[in-house]
Structure 1
Amino acid sequence: MRQSEEGVFREFAEARMGPLFRSACLLTGGDTHFAEDLVQDTLGRMYAVWGRVTRLGNPAAYAQTVLVRCYLGHRRRRSAGERPSDTLPDRADRDPGDSALRMTLLDALRGLPPKDRAVIVLRYWEDRSVTETADALHVSSAAVRTRSTRALARLREQLGSSIGELTAR
């Protein structure tokens, strides 16, 4: 990679690291260590093909796709024997109600299968269309619609009325 391309990649990586990390946290159900690993793996893969990526025209969208594929690939490997803890470390938050809502949502997301979680994160957190989500996951649009409908129903079952209590504050 030439010096100028490396500088452009460095700027891209610095600008996208935060959004990639937030998406990775949602995908991993709040496991920040795994999320950091996913972001580093994503940026490493992006660096390896940076010349081709810049010709595509939208490196940010490509990075999100790579992130989701890294996540799903890790979940498919049998060697992924580490299990996340049920509790997250204590953190100081400004708004305890917001913290409770976030924790409740992360717990509910953690209860979804990996592919369903990926569909929910791409469709509703990343605000991608059904077609973009289908392309990112290499599935049909019908599969995305079906997965999102079923995943949302599971989330509603898991959250029940507790989400209303948390948002009413």
Structure 2
Amino acid sequence: MEVMRRTAYLLCRDWHLADDLVSITIGKLYRHWSRARQVEHLDAYVRRILVRTWLDEKARAWRREEPAETLPEPSVLPTDDVVERLGLLELLDALPPRRRAAVVLRYYCDLSIEETAEILECSPGTVKSQTARGLDSLRALVAASQS
């Protein structure tokens, strides 16, 4: 469950929204359990639901509003501190949603190109190009921040 929450956080950059995404994902999984229990790779199926839910939420206009800064930040795990210290979250924020999803699925979730393509509902070639462009953008952002 914590891996799913961290994956959601890397996608949306908001712990509260990440928790909502995980809850929605679990709800969808429960509603479609008769289909899900027949799936060979349940982890991939759940990640697909999570990413598709995030992409759907991202497309909604009301989600583009800035969140209230009055809520306290929930506690984070030590690995999250490392990611934040390196500034990786800000760099991921700069990527378009599908590129960010491709990079997170390939390098954080350690999925194959084929698994990522299945989750994103696109061809393996699209995953390769989105991942390559995402990494190129990240490299350029790192270079710009160091100069």
Q: Bin the TM-score by the shorter chain.
A: 0.7 to 0.9
Q: How does 1:1-169 map to 2 (within 5 A)?
A: 17-29=1-13, 31-84=14-67, 89=73, 98=82, 99-101=84-86, 104-160=87-143
CA distance in 1, matches of 2:23, 2:100: 20
Q: Deviations over 1:67-96 (max 9, x none)?
A: 00000011112232322479x94968869x
CA distance in 1, matches of 2:49, 2:76: 32
Cα 1:84–1:52 change in 2 (3 A) is: same
Contiguous gaps of at least 5 residues in structure 1: 1-16, 164-169
Cα 1:77–1:112 change in 2 (3 A) is: same
Contiguous gaps of at least 5 residues in structure 2: none
- Percent of aligned positions that are identical: 36
Which structure's CA Rg is the greater one? 1
SS at match of 1:79: helix
RMSD, aligned CA: 2.6
CA distance in 2, matches of 1:130, 1:138: 12
Cα 1:85–1:100 change in 2 (3 A) is: farther
- When normalised by structure 1's length, the TM-score is 0.74
SS at match of 2:37: helix
CA distance in 2, matches of 1:89, 1:157: 30
